[in-house]
Each structure stands twice: as structure tokens, then as C-alpha cells.
Structure 1
Amino acid sequence: MHLTLRQLNIFQAVATQSSYTRAAEELHLTQPAVSMQIKQLEDNIGLALFEQLGKSLFLTEAGQELLGYCERISEQLRDAEDVFDSMKELTRGKLNITVASTANYFAARLLASFSQEHPDVKLSLKVTNREHLLKDIKINGCDLAIMGKPPAELDLNATVFMENPLVVVAPANHPLCAETNIPLSRIAKEPMVVREQGSGTRFSIERFFHNHGLSLIVSAEMSASESIKQAVSAGLSLGIVSSHTIELELETKRLQVLDVENMPIIRHWYLVHRKEKKLSPIALAFSEFLLSATSNKPRN
């Protein structure tokens, strides 16, 4: 059975007006055009929808059933229109954000602030590693992503919104904590706890040391910044992490940032989506909110 909204709209007008002529006037159509659409509708259903008794037009049993469906369809279409209007007005909708694990330290706060401005918007925050984040983007599993520098080979729209400084951290009782302007060559002699091979952070650290003619002494590899912080705090060795991840540890004096020459290593955070993706009004609003909310945006 193949029905069109146009046919149902015409049928509903005829049923409401109990007249082909008055329905045609209401819809600004000719009476033959209305009659033809009703005939096609009856042929598709295989049942008569109207019966003419004298000068009066009545619905058949099938017509009464169809009118009930038409009324429910009309109500759902009105609901859909209300939903779309609300989405355009940013009063409701859904936003799916995927963020790199390190970015979660500030992304959750930003989303909470955005949610206060748009309380009826449903927010979904997924925290994952770089590999799964890129997969999420490829399969259209998120509206927006927050990550380090995205790979050039992917066709992405990437906007820098904030710096991501990498710093050397040590236990608060480490001898180097009392020194200033520590030579990078001195740091290179210390064992380091760093992120795993393949992570963007690890690549940036190794490139930084290589550019200064130095190499890392890796004592341990960790797949999360939280593990690195715990290892350094326990006295395993020094570590290199994003400054965004150590706010609590600095306040509680479990860790200290070392004063190292030529550091921090400056990376950047990017707001990313596929170039061909059409962003919803909510996603566009969050993009604007993020750019205005990050006070330490890099200067051009």
C-alpha cells in the first residue's frame, strides 16, 4: 500500500468538510483534482472511503479508520514541527562529543557550563584514546571531537581553540624541585614515565627531545595521564604530562612542575568534525561557546 501525505491531506479535508467542492476550495484545488486523488487513494487501499447518499457525503467504515490515522499523523507532524522549532531556537536537541582522555580534565567543565545555558539539551560525553576517537569521527559517531593535532590525511575541519602545554613533573620532595632553569640535557639523564607509543603526546615529546639533540630514558609507559601522575607521585621517576591534568596534584602538593629550559612543550587542542558533516544548531552553538569560553586561546 502506497499512500502520500498529499493524498491523506486531501482525504482529511474532504472528510472534515463532507464535500469535494468545499475541500477543493479550502485546498485551492479544482474539484476534479480532489476527486482524482481520492480515487487513487481508494484504489491503493482497495476499499471505498466515502459513500454518497442523496446529496450527503459520508465516510465508510474504512474511511472512519483512515481519518483516525490521519488525525494521529497530523498530530505527530505538529509535534515534529515543534521539536524542529525548538532545536532551531536551541531549547532542545542532543549533542554528542568525543574527547581525548587528557582533554576530559577541562571538557567536562566546559560541557557543564554549556548545559547551564541550554538545560534542555541532552549532552553525551565520550572519553577515549586517540585511535578510538578517530574511529568515532570516521563512522560519524559524534557531532564534534576534542583532540590534539588531527592527522593530515583525514578530510577534517579542525579549529585550534586552546594551548596544551606539556610539562615535566616530579614528586614534591625531588631534589630538582629546588632548582630553576634546569638544562634540558639534565632532564634527559632522568628516567621518565611517559605515554605509550603511538599517542600524540608521546610523539610530541620524542620530537621535542630529538630537535634538541637528546633522547628520552623511558622507565615506564602508561596509557593514561592518571597512571603517569600516580607513578611519579609514588617516586617511580619524573614524568611529562599536560598541565591541564595536574591542577589537583599541584594544589595538594603531591606533584611539582619543574622549571626546565625551553619548556613547556606547546601543543594545541583542536575542535574537530568531518568537513562534509552538516552541524546541527546545537553543535554550532557549542563551537561558538567553546571558542569564547577558552580564555587562553593561541594568538594569531
Structure 2
Amino acid sequence: MNYTLHQLEIFKKIAEVKSVTKASEQLFLTQPAVSIQLKNFQDQFKLPLFEVVSRKLYITEFGEEIAETATRILDEVATINYKSAIYEGKLAGKIKISIVSTAKYAMPYFLTDFIKQNEKVDLTMDVTNKMSVIRSLENNECDFAMVSTIPKKLNIERIELMKNKLYFIASKNFESSKKDFQIKDFNKSLFIFREPGSATRLAMERYLLKHKIEVIKKMELTSNEAVKQAVIAGLGISIMPIMGIKNELQNGDLQILNLKDFPLETNWNLIWLKSKNLSLVAKAFKKHIVENKNDIIKKQFSWFLER
């Protein structure tokens, strides 16, 4: 057998996502390139690693065993690379961060310089819903999490990062003869909510309850991108973080409705378990955030913080 580390990495990813297309996207390779490497890898075994049924890819039992072994091999190779870098005096290792979906508009800016300055640091960032983020933190599956609502049941430490401003938004075709919109004028509108547990949904529900607004028609979607596209299409109105709609506001696809008590404000926080034994890489990242967060915020987010 003469398989390569590259083939092991490709097959490991295919086994994880159960799709050549998704694997190619996540590995930043073309689909034909991934397919060729998969075929070359399979040709070295007498038993099938996968099968395709009704155009869907399934990993065989033998394939699962090979994928598990590939994971261990690649982890060991990474360890060799990290140890080599450490002996050269470089910061090396992995950092895992779990963030809620709206945080994807902010967290990359807090990571960019740190990753560029430390080329031997590998980053895994899981973008998911609030419940999954908290579960990942609770199960010690990540080093840090970025949330706007602090989980009460966990003993955590935190760094307050920046404000998160939320506005009521509508499509460009939403019409009103009034300069100042009133929420009561929207009784016939469809309200678009995030899923239960979302901090954005919680803020929206609190506002509607405070102002005694009865929601007659509503829709529930599980991501901010889905909410944004639904509003742009004219399906309804919603509350969204402004940092996620910058381009749409500039292009005129969305408009902010001038309502009382807006914007709603929460705070983004970088949190970690108090009992967590942070790695050298995690400690270095925490130090980077403490020392540079104000400059990052001023440079990248002044456009909406001053709004």
C-alpha cells in the first residue's frame, strides 16, 4: 500500500460529512480532485470503503474502521508538527471555539491577527445554535465560546467583547406613510422569529411582551441568514443584529424601522469554564483578546457602534 496523508485527510473528511461535494468545500478543493484521491485511496483496498445508494454516499463498516485509524494517524502527525514548532520557539497547537450563528459576523475579526501571527496554531470554529454552544462548553469540547447571553448553570469566566445592537427590519418594499413607525401598525404583518433558545428571539419576545404586542402571524427559522433572506423577500418583519445586515442596508435590500426603544442592546462575551485547564495556545489567545480587543472593535465595528 502506498496511500498518502493527503488521501487520509480526504477520506476522513468524507467519512465525517458523508458527501464528496461537502468534503471538497470544507477542504477548499475541487470536487474532481477529491473524487480522484478517493478512488486512488479505495484502489488500495480489496474491501469497499463506501457505497452509493440512491445517489447518497454511505461509509461501510470497514470504511468506518479506516476513518477512525486515519484520524489517529493525522492527530499523531499534527502532534509531531506541533512539537517541532515548539522546539523552534513557536506557539503551536489547536484552539477550539464554539459560537452562536450571529457571532460569525464578529469572531473572525478577533481571530485574524492571532492566527496570522501564529502560523502553527490550528483553529476549529463551530458555528451553531445557542443550545449546542452551551452543550459543547459544558462537555469540555471547546476552549472558548462566544455568546450574548451568559449561561447561568455553568461556572464560567468571561471577557466582555462588544455591544450587539438589534434593530427591527423590513424589506425595501415595506411601505408606511408615517415617518415614525409604530409597532401597533404591524398587526397584519408576519413576524419572523429565530428558534427557541436563541438570544435574538429572546430579545424580540421581551420587546413584544413589554409593549403588549399580539403576534397574530409568525414564522420560525433556525438561522439568521434564513431570517434575513425571508425579510428581503418580503415575507415579514423581524429583529436582527445590525452587524449581520451591513451589506443589505448599504444595497437598499433592507430598511431599519424607526421604533421606540430601539436599538435593543446586548453584549458579546468570550466565555470559558472556570475549571478549564487552558492550553498554552488558549492562554495566548485570551491574552491577545485582552490586549487588542479595543483596537479591533474601533477598527472593524465603529460603523455600527456609533449608529
Give 2:136's aligned amino acid: D
Please state whether the residue corresponding to 2:212 is helix, strand or coil.
Answer: coil
Alignment correspondent of 2:213 = 214
Indicate the residue corresponding to 1:140 in structure 2: 140
The one-letter code sitting in structure 2 at the alignment partner of 1:159 is I
User: Alignment partner of 2:276: what SS?
Assistant: coil
**Residue in 1 that maps onto 2:264:** 265
The 2-side partners of 1:150 and 1:95 are apart by 21
Aligned ranges for residues 36-75 of structure 1 at < 5 Å? none
Paired with 1:260 and 1:79, the residues of 2 have a C-alpha distance of 55
Q: How does 1:232-251 map to 2 (within 5 A)?
A: 232-251=231-250
Whether 1:94 and 2:94 are equivalent positions in the alignment is yes
Q: Specify every segment of 5 or more residues in structure 2 that has no aligned partner in the other structure, as ranges.
A: 1-79
Task: Tell me what 1:169 maps to.
Answer: 169
Residue aligning to 1:201: 200
- The structure with the larger Rg is 1
SS of alignment partner, residue 197 of structure 1: coil
Conserved? CA contact 2:170–2:238, under 8 Å: yes
Cα–Cα, structure 1 residues 202 and 228, in superposed 2: closer, same or farther, change >3 Å?
Answer: same
Shift of residue 261, structure 1, vs aligned partner: 1.6
Amino acid paired to 1:294: I
Give, in whole Å, the separation in 1 of the partners of 2:283 and 2:297: 16
Runs of 5+ in structure 1 lacking a partner? Answer: 1-77
1:133 and 1:107 map into 2 onto residues whose CA distance is 14
Distance 1:258 1:84, change over 3 A: same
What secondary structure does 2:248 align onto? Answer: helix
Deviation at 1:149, TM superposition (A): 0.9
Q: Which residue of 2 aligns with 1:53?
A: none
Task: Give the Cα–Cα distance (whole angstroms) in 2 for the partners of residues 212 and 234 of structure 1.
Answer: 27
Q: CA RMSD in A?
A: 2.7
Give the conservation status (yes or no) of the 8 Å contact 1:194–1:218: no
257-266 vs 107-116, which moves further: 107-116
Tell me the amino acid that sits aligned with residue 250 of structure 2: E
Aligned residues: 218
Deviation readout 1:60-96 (Å, 9 max, x if unpaired): xxxxxxxxxxxxxxxxxx998765566xx66322211
CA distance in 2, matches of 1:186, 1:160: 37
Give the whole-Å Cα distance in 2 for the aligned partners of 1:216 and 1:153.
31
> What is the CA–CA distance in structure 2 between the aligned matches of 1:121 and 1:184, rounded to whole Å?
49
| 1:191 and 2:190 aligned | yes
Determine the C-alpha separation between the residues in 2 that align with 1:243 and 1:188: 24
Partner SS for 1:207? helix
Question: Which residue is 2:118 aligned to?
Answer: 118
Distance change (3 Å), C-alpha of 1:221 and 1:82:
same
Partner of 2:297: 294
- Looking at structure 1, the residues matched to 117 and 250 of structure 2 have their Cα atoms a distance apart, in angstroms, of 29
Relative to structure 1, is the Cα distance of residues 223 and 133 closer, same or farther in structure 2, using a 3 angstrom cutoff? same
What secondary structure does 1:170 align onto?
strand
Q: 1:167 to 1:197 in 2, by over 3 A?
A: same
- TM-score, structure 1 length as denominator? 0.65
Which amino acid is 2:271 matched to?
Answer: V
Q: Is 1:105–1:244's contact at 8 Å kept on the other side of the alignment?
A: yes
Matched residue, 2:7: none
Residue 159 of structure 2 aligns to a residue whose secondary structure is: strand
Task: Return closer, same or farther for 1:246/1:80 CA change in 2, 3 Å cut-off.
Answer: closer
Q: Secondary structure in 1 aligned to 2:200? A: helix
Is the 2:82–2:93 Cα contact (8 Å) retained in structure 1?
no
TM-score (norm 2): 0.63
Taking the aligned partners of 1:90 and 1:194, their CA distance within structure 2 comes to: 46
- What is the distance in 1 between the residues matched to 2:82 and 2:124? 22
Change (3 A) 1:260 1:119: same
What is the one-letter code of the residue matched to 2:125?
Answer: L
Taking the aligned partners of 1:81 and 1:112, their CA distance within structure 2 comes to: 23
Contact 1:103–1:146 (CA under 8 A) maintained in structure 2 = yes
Q: Cα distance, 1:284 vs. partner? A: 2.7
Instruction: Say whether the 8 Å CA contact 1:168–1:240 is kept in structure 2.
Output: yes
Deviations 1:173-219 (A, max 9, x none): 2114x754323433566321111222222112111222233344442
